Amino acid sequence: MIDLSVRDGIARLVLNRPDKLNALTAEMCDMLAARCREIERGTARVVILSGAGKAFCAGGDIEAWAGETPEAFGDHWVRDGHAAFDALARLTVPVIAQLDGHALGGGLELAACADLRIAEQHIKIGQPETGLGIIPGWSGTQRAVRRFGAQVVRRMALFGEVFDAEEARRLGLVDHVIATGAAHVLAEDLAARVLSRGPQATKLTKMLINAADREDPERIAEALAGRIAAGTDELREGLSAFREKRKPDFS
Ligand code: COA
């Protein structure tokens, strides 16, 4: 239900549950987290995220969460969804969200995890959750506020405003609006731009931007320091000494 293919440095991540407009179940969240781990360990240098069929994503699966007990909802539904969305937002390679269909509720929150959003002109974007008696979850009041600003989130989440693509672009919810059917072409162009740039510099830059954007800055600091430490003669000497059962010589 979450497909991944990687070719020529581009990972294509596709929500594939078109009959339910790609509404996300707990199982799909787990798959998303697993797919992000695969991407992180693989050769992809940029990700294009899209939805199969006519929607990008119509949010969390209403039937699935409506059936949860309050405890289960608060525990695994929230926790597992956050783990998946965090994994996506914290990939070290850039992520492009290709919105060739509506992005509502969890769909908007998922798109917020990307570094760039392309919307086809016919799509709608919003946060209908309070109209269903639930809060915008999976960081819909946190990451969404950080990335888009509090006022536009207020308009969607508190007043139920749903924006068309052009208005969404004006408000900073999406970066580019393009004719219906053309989002994949622009996504490929933008992915090619990423591929033409320095891969390590791009990764490091994304990590720094994520740290500034409060995407787990402690882990990023450790990851950057770890990269430096792992490249030193000091480590090589420490490991040699361990294997040769002698005291290390750090002079
Ligand atoms: N959760 C579960 N199922 C969903 C869903 C969701 N969030 N969104 C859509 N679906 C299902 C519909 O129930 C329908 O299933 P069915 O064919 O078995 O009846 C199928 O997807 C197609 O949706 P439908 O409503 O018939 O399509 P539409 O084109 O008429 O309307 C939307 C599209 C997006 C406007 C409408 O589906 C909608 O409002 N969805 C809910 C969006 C939402 O509130 N998201 C926040 C969830 S927290």
- Segment (H or E) for 120: strand 116-120
Please work out whether the CB of residue 140 comes within 6 Å of at least one atom of ligand 1: no
Residues marked as catalytic:
109, 129
Question: Where does the chain have alpha helices with state H?
Answer: 26-41, 62-66, 70-72, 78-89, 106-112, 143-148, 150-157, 165-170, 183-195, 199-212, 217-230, 233-244
Helix and strand counts by DSSP (H, E) for the chain:
12, 9
65 pLDDT band, cuts 50/70/90, is confident
**pLDDT at residue 76 tops 90:** no
In this prediction, residue 58 carries a pLDDT of 98
Residues 45-52 have a mean pLDDT of: 98
Nearest CA to ligand 1 atom 18: 20
For ligand 1, is residue 168 a contact (CB within 6 Å)?
A: no
Mean pLDDT of the region 20-29: 96
Band the pLDDT of 66: cuts 50, 70, 90.
confident
Ligand 1 contacts CB of residue 21 (under 6 A): yes
| pTM of the entire predicted model | 0.96
The model's pLDDT over 179-238, given as tens digits with 9 standing for 90+, comes to 999 999 999 999 999 999 999 999 999 999 999 999 999 999 999 999 999 999 999 999
CA 20 to centroid of ligand 1, rounded, Å = 6
Does residue 100's CB lie within 6 angstroms of at least one atom of ligand 1? no
